[in-house]
Chain A
Amino acid sequence: MTDLATARARRTRNSRALLLAPAMLILLVAATGPLLIVLVYSFLTPGDYGGVIWSFSTEAWMNVVVRRDIFTGDLQLADAHLSVLWRSVKLSIMTMILAFIFGFPTAYFIATRPRGQRDMWMLLIMIPFWTNLLIRTFAIMELIRNQGTLNTVLIWLGVIDQPIQMLFTEFSLLLGMTYVYLPLMILPIYASMERLDFSLVEAAYDLYATRLKVLRKVIFPLVKPGVVAGSILVFVPCLGAYVTPRVLGGGKQLMLGNLIELQFGQLRNWPLGAALSLTLLVIVMIALLFYVRAIGREGERNV
């Protein structure tokens, strides 16, 4: 490399560092900083009235999975935490699957409409998404509570005598979360579906593939990146969902988000809250890792 080129390279490097500085600063202060605080807190001792006492302890991390019997001091599995953890993961996966089952055909439907109509359909999908989360959740509550719309109609029709208990069950959580996060599934699938060259569908159809085969062998592989993205977009916020389980779970169907809030609030165990938050983060990271690898493999085959 000539001197001139070296100098130019150095200059570019300097100005690049300078231009990147504000963004880096924000990332450091606003993202990494708070995360470090959470990490530090998770290794401290809880204060009596909330907050932390600055003495190192791994108790919080132990408490994520085990609890100490207050009389004998024996270690037992923390059933409460584990069941919340399990419920969070289970409901998130189920929500993801439900959102896929409803979202995929919807995205397909919209992508196959005439170009001029698609925006209108997408708008209809997006309007609820722009509505306040709390309002939407209470709307679901009104729909499924014992004296709610659904039960009233069913009783009036004579299908049932007694209202079905739907509120405060896992069903209500699933319904609520699927409803809330469905657009996040539809959007990326629609985006890949819209790019899909439908002459490929015709080609497959022409080459003796039945409708189902076309879906499995051509459409699905080609929109898979969208499906994976949508699944992650639904799974991640579901895992940390707070409002929906709070309102529709009625304190009986706790999820991780509620458990964490409980630790920082009523239970005044900030280190445990911090440790649970980081546990949540780890699960999310694992999910994202899966996503990156799935997309990466896809990328090797068709960029």
Chain B
Amino acid sequence: MIDIQSLTKTFGTGTGAFTALDDVSVTIASNEFFTLLGPSGCGKTTLLRVIAGFIDPTRGTVALDGEDLLTRPPYARPVNTVFQSYALFPHMTVAQNIAFGLEMLRKPATEIAATVEEMLALVKMTEMADRRTDQISGGQQQRVALARALAPRPRVLLLDEPLSALDFKLRKNMQLELKRLQSETGITFVFVTHDQDEALTMSDRLAVMNEGRIRQIGSPRDIYIHPAERFVADFIGDTNFLQADLLGRTGDVARVRLASGAEIDARAATGMQAAGGQVTVAVRPEHATLETTGDALMTGRIANVVYVGTDTHYHVDLEGGARFIVRRQNTPGQAQDWQEGQEVGVSFPSGVGQVLRD
């Protein structure tokens, strides 16, 4: 278990100071695939490098299974990193790269040979063992970097956007591969990415970061369906934001009145006010449906129909000016086809909307 408490890192001093991490606290369970997700510059890589030991934090603590990590140099932490650039040693073969950590730990030669063999098999690189690192493809380098970091059996594996240099197909494969490796080895993975698909596909839990702070922690499902605030809702997936009046709240159900005048139940954000005032309600495009104007929640006119293969996106200009996107999965022999310029009604079920914190 990694226990991170009020971690702050400030670069520079005075007016030029930049706070990369701002009072970050998070607990990552053992054997968990934990993802730090956020736009570039949000502090996710800084957090990873603090855990690895390449950056000393300004304040805060990092403990692994109860032991303080910050007092130890990187080479004394049972934590290994897969670097974004892979950082394979160019003067060594694939097998020598994988053996490096074990040699530094002064493991017996027979054990090293056996582990290297095992790691090569694990990442399916056995035939490439004696190749130089510049004689193998990017995907293979990626796997060697992974094997090298896994070979010493670290308690935590840190992965710094390791898939960003791969092409789409390879990335998809590696996502599943990583997930497989994590469950096979039982090592805690801390994965950094700016790619929401990656984060949602692989993680047990993920933390969404922005401007040095963790905005929300939860399972992919949790975060997707119940984003706590506008940044999270906006960063992950497409979202419609609706202005509404908060009428009342009981538990995590909030009663809101939309701009169209319709009233509906939505999920309340934790720690929001009981009643009164303007709130923002987030609705995922695939959770809303188009229908005839009759008894719809809102009405508008279709401004745009975008066909994207699996789905069709309908951009609706709501009465009152807001733009609302409805996503519908394409099925063979679709019954009703909505046209651009058509008047439509837009609805979403009760309890689907998420009231945001801000």
Interface residues of A (CB under 8 A from B): 197, 199-200, 202-210, 213, 217-218, 221-222, 301-303
Write out, one digit per residue, whether chain B residues 52-72 have a CB within 8 A of any chain A CB (1) or not (0): 111000000000000000000
In the bound assembly, the distance between CA atoms of A221 and B105 in angstroms comes to 20
In the bound assembly, the distance between CA atoms of A203 and B149 in angstroms comes to 9
Q: Is B89's CB under 8 angstroms from A218's CB? A: yes
Closest to B49 in A: A202
Given contacts A301-B132, A302-B134, contact A197 B101 (CB under 8 A): no
Q: Is B81's CB under 8 angstroms from A208's CB? A: no
User: What residues of chain A lie closer than 8 Å to B80, measured between beta carbons?
Assistant: 206-207
Write out, one digit per residue, whether chain B residues 106-138 have a CB within 8 A of any chain A CB (1) or not (0): 000000000000000000000000001010000
Contact of A206 (CB < 8 Å), options: B74, B85, B88, B90:
B74
User: What residues of chain B lie closer than 8 Å to A203, measured between beta carbons?
Assistant: 81, 83, 87-89
User: What residues of chain A lie closer than 8 Å to B88, measured between beta carbons?
Assistant: 203
Closest to A210 in B: B75
Closest to B101 in A: A207
User: What residues of chain B lie closer than 8 Å to A302, measured between beta carbons?
Assistant: 90-91, 132, 134
In the complex, how many angstroms separate the beta carbon of B92 from the nearest chain A beta carbon?
A: 9
Q: Is A222's CB under 8 angstroms from B90's CB? A: yes
In the bound assembly, the distance between CA atoms of A208 and B106 in angstroms comes to 10
In the complex, how many angstroms separate the beta carbon of B354 from the nearest chain A beta carbon?
A: 40
Q: Is A213's CB under 8 angstroms from B74's CB? A: no
In the bound assembly, the distance between CA atoms of A218 and B88 in angstroms comes to 11
In the complex, how many angstroms separate the beta carbon of A224 from the nearest chain B beta carbon?
A: 9
User: What residues of chain B lie closer than 8 Å to A222, measured between beta carbons?
Assistant: 90-91
Given contacts A197-B85, A199-B83, A199-B85, contact A204 B100 (CB under 8 A): yes
Closest to B79 in A: A206
B335 interface residue, CB < 8 Å from A? no
Interface residues of B (CB under 8 A from A): 52-54, 73-76, 79-81, 83, 85, 87-91, 100-101, 104-105, 132, 134, 148-149, 152
Q: Is B132's CB under 8 angstroms from A206's CB? A: no
In the complex, how many angstroms separate the beta carbon of B157 from the nearest chain A beta carbon?
A: 11
Q: Is B52's CB under 8 angstroms from A206's CB? A: yes
Contact of A205 (CB < 8 Å), options: B75, B89, B90, B105:
B75
Q: Is A208's CB under 8 angstroms from B101's CB? A: yes
In the complex, how many angstroms separate the beta carbon of A93 from the nearest chain B beta carbon?
A: 26
In the complex, how many angstroms separate the beta carbon of B35 from the nearest chain A beta carbon?
A: 20
A-B contact pairs, 30 of them (CB 8 A): A197-B87, A202-B54, A202-B87, A203-B81, A203-B89, A204-B89, A204-B100, A204-B104, A205-B53, A205-B73, A205-B75, A206-B53, A206-B75, A206-B81, A207-B148, A207-B152, A208-B75, A208-B104, A208-B152, A209-B100, A209-B104, A210-B75, A210-B104, A218-B89, A221-B91, A222-B90, A301-B91, A302-B91, A302-B132, A302-B134
In the bound assembly, the distance between CA atoms of A84 and B253 in angstroms comes to 97
User: What residues of chain B lie closer than 8 Å to A204, measured between beta carbons?
Assistant: 89, 100, 104
Interface centre among B52, B75, B81, B148 (most CB of A within 10 A): B75
Closest to B75 in A: A208
User: What residues of chain B lie closer than 8 Å to A213, measured between beta carbons?
Assistant: 104
Q: Is B81's CB under 8 angstroms from A200's CB? A: no
User: What residues of chain A lie closer than 8 Å to B105, measured between beta carbons?
Assistant: 208
In the bound assembly, the distance between CA atoms of A207 and B134 in angstroms comes to 21
Interface centre among B80, B85, B89 (most CB of A within 10 A): B89
User: What residues of chain A lie closer than 8 Å to B73, measured between beta carbons?
Assistant: 205
In the bound assembly, the distance between CA atoms of A302 and B88 in angstroms comes to 12
In the complex, how many angstroms separate the beta carbon of A95 from the nearest chain B beta carbon?
A: 28
In the complex, how many angstroms separate the beta carbon of A182 from the nearest chain B beta carbon?
A: 27
In the complex, how many angstroms separate the beta carbon of B286 from the nearest chain A beta carbon?
A: 41
In the bound assembly, the distance between CA atoms of A171 and B105 in angstroms comes to 43
Q: 15 more A-B contacts (CB under 8 A) besides A205-B54, A218-B89?
A: A202-B81, A202-B83, A202-B87, A203-B81, A203-B83, A204-B100, A206-B149, A208-B75, A208-B76, A208-B101, A213-B104, A221-B91, A301-B132, A302-B134, A303-B134
User: What residues of chain A lie closer than 8 Å to B81, measured between beta carbons?
Assistant: 202-203, 206
User: What residues of chain A lie closer than 8 Å to B104, measured between beta carbons?
Assistant: 204, 207-210, 213, 217
User: What residues of chain A lie closer than 8 Å to B75, measured between beta carbons?
Assistant: 205-210
User: What residues of chain B lie closer than 8 Å to A301, measured between beta carbons?
Assistant: 91, 132
Q: Is A200's CB under 8 angstroms from B54's CB? A: no
In the complex, how many angstroms separate the beta carbon of A168 from the nearest chain B beta carbon?
A: 45
In the bound assembly, the distance between CA atoms of A222 and B90 in angstroms comes to 8
User: What residues of chain B lie closer than 8 Å to A303, measured between beta carbons?
Assistant: 134
Q: Which 10 A-B pairs have the closest CB atoms?
A: A207-B101, A203-B87, A208-B104, A199-B87, A209-B104, A205-B74, A221-B91, A302-B90, A208-B75, A206-B81
Given contacts A197-B87, A199-B85, contact A207 B132 (CB under 8 A): no
In the bound assembly, the distance between CA atoms of A206 and B132 in angstroms comes to 21
In the bound assembly, the distance between CA atoms of A206 and B104 in angstroms comes to 10
User: What residues of chain B lie closer than 8 Å to A202, measured between beta carbons?
Assistant: 54, 74, 81, 83, 87
In the bound assembly, the distance between CA atoms of A221 and B53 in angstroms comes to 24
In the bound assembly, the distance between CA atoms of A176 and B54 in angstroms comes to 41
In the complex, how many angstroms separate the beta carbon of A114 from the nearest chain B beta carbon?
A: 13
Interface centre among B85, B91, B149 (most CB of A within 10 A): B91
Closest to B78 in A: A208
User: What residues of chain A lie closer than 8 Å to B74, measured between beta carbons?
Assistant: 202, 205-206
